[in-house]
Chain A
């Protein structure tokens, strides 16, 4: 069977069960069935967590492998396997999957059957993308994700849902079809080359296996690498989204229903960054090194620009959406520092952003369900009326801005260390982003929760109910856990990160044996001292 198949297809089975066995269009049974399958999926993914061997290196780094022939005549295989990075992202996906389902109980009041089916299909697509080790399979899952999300935004979204849904679909589709051409170019390089362009191939058997391309990546001539990289870059950068490809994001987030925003922020955006660490960096090392500066510049612009735009937003959800642009800028910056420290921070920050921003979207959704407005100006003094909500919002905001002892700090701090190791200029720009991050979040908090409770519509708002409290406490638990025990997570991604660094720069660890011995507990000690 393969445990990865089970984890991937449980949501699909859930969708089929709802489709055929739950007759009514709107009913409690649909919700509970969806929740049941989301929970089962999470439990199955916990099996991965407990049986994962973080020490596995080399071929053993790819665990729970499941390989079958799929389209033999094209060399396409059905190949699943995960390393530590994919493991964390899968756990994030299954966990946020539960949150997304549970958070929709009250928010989605019509066409519930279709809604939960699409949500579960989306989850299968996301997990499949993280599991796939074959380009063809990866691309199939990558595209499968588009359709359910399009419907989720388009049917259950806000007033401009049609515009937002089509924009989301076309932006990401454009990126991914260009990515397909890059995959094809890689395929021909491995196979017979492109004689018309005088590109000699390696003459290997036709294959789409990512791991094979990890091995032959450095043989690709730099010019070809550059073009292939551009194709992948477009696909991934739109998904991340990096400045200036981010314009679909605010629209999609603002119009999407709460659960859609949570999944979008927590997992879909990570597809882009995951694509970089899994594909672009290890397979195209020369192009990566060649393009460090432009990409870092775009990341820094993203960090600062996202933060500045957040500062002036009047709509809470839009504010959180733009803060994503800023945070993902950090992830990209850490990644392109191309040292173990930066990459580790980058991967951890992917998870952190999923949890913190997911929590913020959930919180905005909770207040929106009560008041049907997201305008900051409509609120004020909520701390008096909804103390528990205010406290949880504060924790999520602090986690997002990077307060020590919470998860955001670990990620951002590690990224800054990695970036400073490359260039102090990068790090100083990024620090400015952190300061701005604190500014927009605290200012938001101030305007919404403090001051007089003068809007009469806010006077009778109920505080969070038990369902909402449960979801939020689970998220807060993760924030604190990552914040005080990051070593658990760093251990898992240690090997994959070193692997990527070695792929990009094979001599990296020879040059700096003292600073970064492989598997050194540097991060843990750094955290100890700062705490």
Chain B
């Protein structure tokens, strides 16, 4: 018994200590910073300022814009990634010749860095020599080049397109695995009852994979909300802050502004949004269905 306790402790201590010291400790410090005036270039005048950083955030049009953009960014990225991912998973469910190779060619995107994907799409979206403008012109869909990344009307749509491209694979992989676990007896029963393929999908497949759909959507929404990498690579929030989401704005304030207090305040607002989102999501979808996450 004692031996077992020693084993448990020695197995856990390295992992726990590192995560506590270098994830939770700085995280808590970051939360405290939100209530301080904390500027990298003026470290001697660090002091508590109450809620000033939050007031400043809500008075900043850039922040309000980023708050709105975060909503668009998560909503449209998530819906589109899910729909394309589900379609793809359904089409790939049945074995066919070359399926493995096909999966390799459509799933590779998640192994790339969001930053490089941002860069590649920046090159393709280029308003003068970008290939997307060129293709659309050739197809006759547009008559003059679009400033995908320089026109504020288009910039947010453009970053979302790149993000959808990036994230479909994740949904497809998770949903495909879930689809392949649906017992074939369920379909046999449905066929005996004379169900159409649409009814099979609606009444058998979707209910069966619902726990995976719920868990994946919940997780994915949070990751999309938190991850600024693609935006950083594509527009870095430009033009004129029109593509910042909360996380990219926070990052910008840390890396380029050195304003740690303001950045942390945004971080806390993000945490609050995530908490509400998770509680809301789990209560509408009934938590027990989401498995033991």
Q: Do A and B bind each other?
A: no
